[in-house]
Amino acid sequence: MNRGNPPLPTLFSKLERFNMVTEHQTCSGYFQKANVFFSAVSTTMNNSGCLTSMLHGKNSVTLLTHMDDGDVAAIAASPFLKQISSMCNGKGLPEKAKVEAFLKLGCLKEGWQGIDEAVKDQPLDRALVTHISSMCNGRGLPEKADVEAFLKLGCLKEGWQGMDEAVKDQPLDRALVTHISSMCHGKGLPENAKVEAFLKLGCLKEGWQGIDEAVKDKPLNRVLVTHISSMSAGRGLPEKAKVEAFLKLGCLKEGWQGIDEAVKDQPLDWALVTHISSMCNGKGLPERAKVEAFLRLVCLKEGWQGIDEAVKDQPLDRALVTHISSMCNGKGLPEKAKVETFLKLCCLREGWQGIDEAVRDQPLDRVLVTHISSMCHGKGLPEKAKIEAFLKLGCLKEEWQGIDEAVLKVDIKLHPLHRSLILYALNNHPVQGVLVSHYFPRSPVAF
């Protein structure tokens, strides 16, 4: 086993650059400090990533071995260890004094409005600390002045319409802070000018149809900001030109059938925007060519059975698009070949009992597709072999009592799939794939 494999490197992987013979004292000291660290962490911490993610290279490991045991234990015992670990990712274990200074910041306390004294007895605002740590991921603990400057931004207060003075006594707009922190994950605390420029975009206002002046007094379209922040997660605040270009796409308007001119005055098709933003989560705003290519896929039209010509004038199958977007959440817009391959699978057709030829002309089993898409949410379109292996499990057949042979070697029509059993497994393992062996140890298979 390679102990250095993602997602979280283990303790051993950090010693790969050390010579165990000539640097044995450092290696020994490293494990001693690790023991001190993990003896102090919360019982809810179940992996070594909170320590190893902070260590990068020989220098950070060596520095750890020279730290005072009390300081190491104090950092490990912090209820904000995950946030500290995030900010110090690859930066080495921070000094105890710096951690304490950060966690004492008045601006991070609940109810802070600019006066530290007023909140001195208040607890830290955990959600706020999480947002700050997200933006400062891998950048170290931020300075007090930088955190205060960000949290004092008038544009982040509830009701802001461009005038800071009008909202000086208002609390932070938590939804906005969430979106900003998502887009700026690992990018550092954004400057006032950049945040204001983003929030002043006319194209993000309710009712925008291409003319900023017409919506200058309108509020932000919160649903739209959510979609933009989803696609821009970890990529920084997007530029005006890119946001406008995306929102002007004719293919995203209601009623689009391939001709932009025909829908130029139509509003955005919000269901489509939702699906696109889901698939492009963290991928950035997609280019026009890619969005159009996806929405032109004939295999996504109502009634498609493998012959494009037969459904060329049909509308999109909305339910199908929903399922595809669920499976491709965060994976980007899928290619035509992969979508067609998935939709041509005979094992997804009504009445399939293991013989493809028998159901070649049958329509998709929509209930089955719904279950598969739920189990494969964010996992991409599953391969044929894995779906077939799952659907052929004897333990999913009606009347199964623990012996596969009893339901497989007789007339298969007498033992169809037990649909309620599949639904039960689905409800107990949503959005992560079903490990059927959890219920039936003799039949292990997972997506």
Q: What is the pLDDT of residue 4?
A: 46
Q: What is the pLDDT of residue 423?
A: 60
Q: What is the pLDDT of residue 426?
A: 57
CB 144 within 8 A of CB 106: no
What's CA 296's distance to the chain center, in Å? 26
Q: What is the pLDDT of residue 1?
A: 37
How far apart, in whole angstroms, are the C-alpha atoms of residue 299 and residue 311? 9
Q: What is the pLDDT of residue 398?
A: 76
How far apart, in whole angstroms, are the C-alpha atoms of residue 369 and residue 338? 15
Q: What is the pLDDT of residue 304?
A: 94
How far apart, in whole angstroms, are the C-alpha atoms of residue 7 and residue 264? 46
DSSP labels, 245-268:
HHHT-GGGBTT-SS-GGGGTTSPB
DSSP labels, 369-416:
HHHHHHHTTTT-SPPHHHHHHHHT-GGGBTT--S-THHHHSS-GGGS-
Going residue by residue through the chain, which has 447 residues, state the pLDDT in tens, using 9 for 90 and above.
344 455 456 888 898 889 989 999 999 999 999 999 999 998 877 788 899 999 998 999 999 999 999 999 999 999 999 999 999 999 999 999 999 999 999 999 999 999 999 999 999 999 999 999 999 999 999 999 999 999 999 999 999 999 999 999 999 999 999 999 999 999 999 999 999 999 999 999 999 999 999 999 999 999 999 999 999 999 999 999 999 999 999 999 999 999 999 999 999 999 999 999 999 999 999 999 999 999 999 999 999 989 999 998 899 999 999 999 999 999 999 999 999 999 999 999 999 988 999 999 999 999 999 999 999 999 999 999 999 999 888 888 777 777 777 776 544 444 555 556 566 555 555 444 444 433 333 333 344
Q: What is the pLDDT of residue 428?
A: 56
Give me the residue label for tokens 């015992």: 77
CB 418 within 8 A of CB 400: yes
Tell how many helices (H) and how many strands (E) occur in the chain. Answer: 20, 0
Q: What is the pLDDT of residue 437?
A: 35
Beta bridge partners of 310: none
Give me the residue label for tokens 């550092």: 188
How far apart, in whole angstroms, are the C-alpha atoms of residue 157 and residue 153? 7
For 157, the 3-state DSSP assignment is strand
Q: What is the pLDDT of residue 419?
A: 59
pTM, entire model: 0.87
Task: Tell which residue, 179, 169, 174, 172, has the closest CA to residue 199.
Answer: 179
What's CA 292's distance to the chain center, in Å? 24
List CB contacts of 232: < 8 A, sequence separation 6 or more.
182, 183, 238, 284, 285
Ramachandran region, residue 283 (left: φ > 0; alpha: ψ -120 to 50; beta: rest):
alpha
Q: What is the pLDDT of residue 404?
A: 76
Beta bridge partners of 109: 124
